[in-house]
Amino acid sequence: MTIETIPQDRQAKLFMAIEKNMNSVKRRNVGYTIYCYSDFIATVTLTISGRRGSVQKAIAVNFDISVESWVVYADSKKYTLGSLSELQAIMKSIIARQTNTITRI
């Protein structure tokens, strides 16, 4: 077993890149938490609240070195992104689906 310490500045770069793309999905009753594990792997936990309950979704974001692109795992689907800015569209669609789910309950 080998243990390697990942520098905080590289984790902070990934955090800021994801945060920059998540600013557009901020709205009432929608929150998110970003956890960066390294400079290539992170998870985003979305929390959508409504009058009848709340839903949490975990989204895994990682950089696939073999393909040299970002890969997002959410709702039993795998998304391959050309750039990290495409994360906004995925998050907005998840929020829309979950908001509809909460209002139907």
Looking at residue 34, which CATH number applies to its domain? 3.10.110
Helix 87-104 to helix 8-22 angle (10° resolution) is 60
Residue 2 lies in a domain: no
Residue 3 lies in a domain: no
User: Pick from 48, 43, 53: which is nearest to 30 by CA?
Assistant: 48
The pTM of this model reads 0.84
Residue 48 lies in a domain: yes
- Domain span including residue 61: 8-100
Residue 13 lies in a domain: yes
Q: What is the mean pLDDT of each run of 10 residues along the chain (105 residues)?
A: 86 91 83 91 91 88 90 92 89 87 71
77, 84 Cβ separation under 8 angstroms: no
Pair of tokens at residue 91 = 């998050």
Pair of tokens at residue 2 = 């080998």
Number of domains in the chain: 1
At 49 the pLDDT is 87
